[in-house]
A and B are shown apart, each in its own frame.
Chain A
Amino acid sequence: MEKMKLKVSNLQKIFPAANKKEKDLVALKDINLEVKESEFVVMVGPSGCGKSTLINIIGGLEEATAGSVEIDGMPVTGPGADRGMVFQGYSLFPWLTVQKNIEFGLKMKKMPKAERAAVAKEFIQLVGLAGFENALPKQLSGGMKQRVAIARTLANHPQILLMDEPFGALDAQTRVVMQELLAKISRETGNTVLFITHDIDEAILLADRIYVMSRRPGTIREVLPVTIEGERNHEILVHPEFLKMKRKIMEMLWQESQDAALDK
C-alpha cells in the first residue's frame, strides 16, 4: 500500500446562523480526501463550494465542525510548519527583502543566520529570482511576488504544500509560466501538493489526480486520475486526452450551476 501523506475523513463545516430566522450554513459535508506522498492533487470546484474553507481547515487556520485531518497519521490541531500554505494574495511581508521573506520560516525555527542564507539562496535559484535577493516586495510584479511566496514556503520543507488559488490574481500569460514552473518544481523536488482552483485547464495541467467538488454544501463529486503522458507544459492544453477530460469536468460543473439556478 502506498503511503498516505494527508488523510481527511468525514469532514464537516457548519457556519451557525446569525439569528433564529436563518438556517445554519453547511459549507462542507462528508469530505473524504487522500493525498499520497509526492502526489499532486488538485481540487476543482465552482466558487462558493467551500474549497478555501477546506484548505484553511487542513492548514489549521479554521476549525472543522466534525471529522478529522491527519498528516502522516497524526491529527492536525492548529497551524504548523509541516503544512506550508501559499495564498492568492501572496501575503509577503512588505518590510522584508526577498531573501528575508524566504528566510522567515527558518528564522522562526532559530536556524543560524549563515545556514538560513544558504537555504534561501538555493530556493531563490529554484524559482528563478537570482539577482532580486535584496528587492522589496513592492518592487516586484505579481508573478514575482508569488515566486517569493512559493520559495518561502518550500524553503521551510513542509510535509505538504497547500495552495489556495495561488495564480488567481495573475494575468493569463504569467499564469501559464507559473503553472509550468510549479509543475517542474514539484516533480523535481517530489513535494506533496494539494492545490485548489476553479480553473479547469490549470487543474488538468498540474494534477496527478483531480477531485471535482459540488456547490454548497461542498461535497466531493468525483475523483479523476490524470493519465496524460509527457512533460506538463502549455502544449498539453491541446492534447486530445486533455480536451476529453476538460469536457467531462466542464459538464459536471455546468450541471452544478444548473442545479444551483434551479434551487433559487
Chain B
Amino acid sequence: MKNKIQRLSGGCLSFISFCIIILAWCVITYGGFVDKIFIPSPTDVWNSLKDMAADGSLWEHCYLSTKRVMVGWFWSAVLALPIGMLMARSSKFAAIIQPVIEFVRYLPVVALVPLTILYLGIDENQKYVIIFLGTFFQLVLMVCDTVSSIDKNMINAARTLGAGKLQVYTEVIFPAALPGLMDDFRMTIGWAWTYLVVAEMVAASAGLGYIILKSQRFLATDVIFAGLIMIGVIGLITDFLLRGLTKMIVPWHERLGD
C-alpha cells in the first residue's frame, strides 16, 4: 500500500514538473515577454508540427533520423561488446587497445566530418559512421568497466564446476554483466541522438537534424522547436522501451530502491 502511494507520487511529480515547464513556456510567450523569433509560442510549434504531419514529411524525418541513430548505434554496440569484454578480461589486450581508444575518444566528432566525407562520400553510410564514432569509443570503455565489476567468485565457481574458457564468457560473464550492459546501451542510445545534427549536417535532404539546421537559415524557430520536441519524444520512447526490455530479460536483477 505504502509502495503504491510512493509510486503514484513519483509519477505525479514527473507530471507536475512537466506541467510547470509548459506553463512557464505559455506565460513567457503568450504574455509577450519574449520575442516570437527567440521562443515561439506553443500554438506556433503545434501548427508547424501539424503542417509537417499533414503532408507526411514529419514521419519521414522521424523515420530517417531514427534509422540513422539506430543503425550507427547498433554497429557500435555489436563491436563494443566483444572488444570491451576482452579488454576487461585480458590485461595484454587492454594494453594494446586502450591507448588508441582513449585517444580517439577525445577527438570531437564534428572535426571528423570532413574525413568521413572524404573516405565515405555523402551517402547514408557517412551518417551511420558519424553516429558510430560518437558512441563506440565511449561504449567500449563502459562495457569494459561493467564487465570488470562483476563478482569474480562467480567466475571461480564456474571454473571449478568445469566451465571452459569460452563457456565462462557465454554462461557467466555475459549474463552477469547483462544488467549493467543494458544500462550502458540505454545511455549510449541517448548520446547517439545528440550526434544526429552532426550526422545530418552534410548532404542530408531529410531528417530531424536536417530540418533544424535548415530552419536556422530562415529563423523558423517554430520548426526548430518542433524538431527538438520530436527528438526528445523519440528519445523518451526509446528509453522507456529499453527499460521495459531490461526488466523483461533480467528479471532476476536486484536494483537499489526496488
A residues engaging B (CB < 8 A)? 59-61, 78-81, 83-85, 87, 89, 91-95, 104-105, 107-109, 136-138, 149, 152-153, 156, 162
Q: Are B157 and A81 in contact (CB under 8 A)?
A: no
Report which of B156, B160, B167, B171 forms a contact with A80, defined as CB distance below 8 A.
Answer: B160
Report which of A79, A107, A137 forms a contact with B160, defined as CB distance below 8 A.
Answer: A79
Could you say which of B7-15, B199-207, B235-243, B250-258 contacts chain A?
A: B250-258
Report which of B151, B164, B250 forms a contact with A95, defined as CB distance below 8 A.
Answer: B250
Q: Are B162 and A105 in contact (CB under 8 A)?
A: yes
Given A87-B153, A91-B153, A93-B175: A104 and B250 within 8 A (CB)? no
* Assembly CA distance A104 to B162 (angstroms): 9
Q: Are B153 and A93 in contact (CB under 8 A)?
A: no
Given A95-B250, A108-B167, A108-B171: A61 and B159 within 8 A (CB)? yes
Given A91-B154, A108-B167, A138-B254: A59 and B176 within 8 A (CB)? no
Q: Are B253 and A85 in contact (CB under 8 A)?
A: no
* Assembly CA distance A156 to B159 (angstroms): 12
**In the complex, per-residue mask of B145-180: 1 if CB is within 8 Å of any chain A CB, else 0:** 000000101101111111110010001100110100
B171 proximity list for chain A (CB < 8 A): 104, 107-108
Q: Are A80 and B162 in contact (CB under 8 A)?
A: yes
Task: Give 24 CB contacts A-B under 8 Å.
Answer: A60-B159, A61-B156, A61-B160, A78-B159, A80-B160, A84-B160, A85-B160, A87-B153, A87-B157, A89-B151, A89-B153, A93-B175, A94-B253, A95-B176, A95-B250, A104-B171, A105-B162, A136-B252, A137-B252, A138-B252, A138-B254, A152-B161, A153-B161, A156-B162
* Assembly CA distance A10 to B253 (angstroms): 45
* Assembly CA distance A67 to B156 (angstroms): 22
Q: Are A83 and B160 in contact (CB under 8 A)?
A: yes
Given A91-B151, A93-B175: A108 and B252 within 8 A (CB)? no
A108 proximity list for chain B (CB < 8 A): 158, 161-164, 167, 171
* Assembly CA distance A81 to B160 (angstroms): 5
* Assembly CA distance A85 to B162 (angstroms): 11
Using CB atoms, name the residue of chain A closest to B163.
A108
How many residues belonging to B are interface residues under a CB distance threshold of 8 Å?
22
Using CB atoms, name the residue of chain B closest to A62.
B156
Q: Are B161 and A104 in contact (CB under 8 A)?
A: yes
Given A89-B153, A93-B154, A95-B176: A79 and B253 within 8 A (CB)? no
Using CB atoms, name the residue of chain B closest to A149.
B157
Report which of B162, B176, B252, B254 forms a contact with A109, defined as CB distance below 8 A.
Answer: B162
Given contacts A80-B162, A91-B154, A105-B162, 19 further A-B contacts (CB under 8 A): A60-B160, A61-B160, A79-B159, A79-B160, A81-B160, A83-B160, A91-B151, A93-B158, A93-B172, A94-B253, A95-B176, A95-B250, A104-B163, A104-B171, A108-B158, A108-B161, A137-B252, A138-B252, A153-B160
Q: Are B160 and A59 in contact (CB under 8 A)?
A: yes
Q: Are B157 and A156 in contact (CB under 8 A)?
A: no
B167 proximity list for chain A (CB < 8 A): 108
* Assembly CA distance A61 to B219 (angstroms): 66
Question: What's the minimum C-beta distance from A150 to chain B, rounded to whole angstroms?
Answer: 12
CB-based closest 3 A-B pairs: A81-B162, A105-B161, A79-B159
* Assembly CA distance A137 to B171 (angstroms): 17
Given A93-B175, A95-B176, A108-B167: A85 and B252 within 8 A (CB)? no
Q: Are A91 and B162 in contact (CB under 8 A)?
A: no
Q: Are A93 and B176 in contact (CB under 8 A)?
A: yes
* Assembly CA distance A91 to B153 (angstroms): 6
Question: What's the minimum C-beta distance from B171 to chain A, rounded to whole angstroms?
Answer: 7
Q: Are B156 and A91 in contact (CB under 8 A)?
A: yes
A80 proximity list for chain B (CB < 8 A): 160, 162
Question: What's the minimum C-beta distance from B59 to chain A, rounded to whole angstroms?
Answer: 39
Report which of B161, B172, B175, B253 forms a contact with A81, defined as CB distance below 8 A.
Answer: B161
* Assembly CA distance A137 to B154 (angstroms): 13
